[in-house]
Copies of this chain bind each other. A is one copy, B any other.
Amino acid sequence: MSRRSEITRKASTQSIAAPRARALATEGGDRQSYHVGNLRESLIREALSILQEGDGLQALSLRKVAAASGVSHTAAYRHFDDKNALLAAVAEEGFRLLYDYQREVVAEAGDDLTERFLNLGWLYVKFTIEYPQHARIMFGGAGLEFKAYPALVAAAAKTFRQLLEVVRRGQERGIIAAGSSKHLALAAWSIVHGVAMLVLDGQIRLRGDAADIEQTVKSVISTLFHGLAARPA
């Protein structure tokens, strides 16, 4: 008993992002023995799990999250000032998760920069499709005031900086056009974010299988890469 609580306490002191990046994609984990030491993490995890069920943002309540963690609903106030603070933590976790995924793609060896760009963009869209409600919280659908949560702002900025670096490296190698790398990165982020949101909202109908969607999305991204305008022949 005392041994277990020692373990869980230790777990609570380190970032939950790294060890859980994979776990999130799989199943919920053990439901027992939360409390004392890891309730905070448990609440975030269960919130994600509830969002994953797809009943929309308004299906997420403090009470449900607490119940899923096997805890009285007032216990949440030990760890979060209020409901919004929990949402902010969920969003923050989302950005860390996305960052980790992106890092893998960026780190992948491969000389074809275009290819890598397509993959990075496709990853972003895939993330949004796989974690739609999660993505909505991250991208303002919950009406969260980001400014009130510096850690959240930092996590989001870090994710964007990753893209910015890829653009810069491309420019150095002469593969990406010269100019404000910030504006170019913004263009890349915008198109990928836009197509993700349109797919998520069903404006882009995903008739056909996953492969079709992937192809469509990549075609859109490659339009950005090569330009909409006709090349002067």
Which A residues are closer than 8 A to B by beta carbons?
A: 56-58, 114, 117, 136, 139-141, 143, 146-147, 156, 160, 174-178, 180, 183-184, 186-198, 200-204, 216, 219-221, 223-231
Contact = CB atoms under 8 A, between A and B. Distances in A.
Given A141-B141, A231-B177, A195 B186 contact: yes
A56 B178 CA distance: 40
Nearest to A229: B225
Given A56-B143, A177-B231, A228-B176, A189 B183 contact: no
A200 B197 CA distance: 13
A183 B195 CA distance: 11
A190 B184 CA distance: 15
Contacts of A216: 183, 186
Contact of A230 (B139, B175, B188): B175
B189 A228 contact: no
A223 B193 contact: no
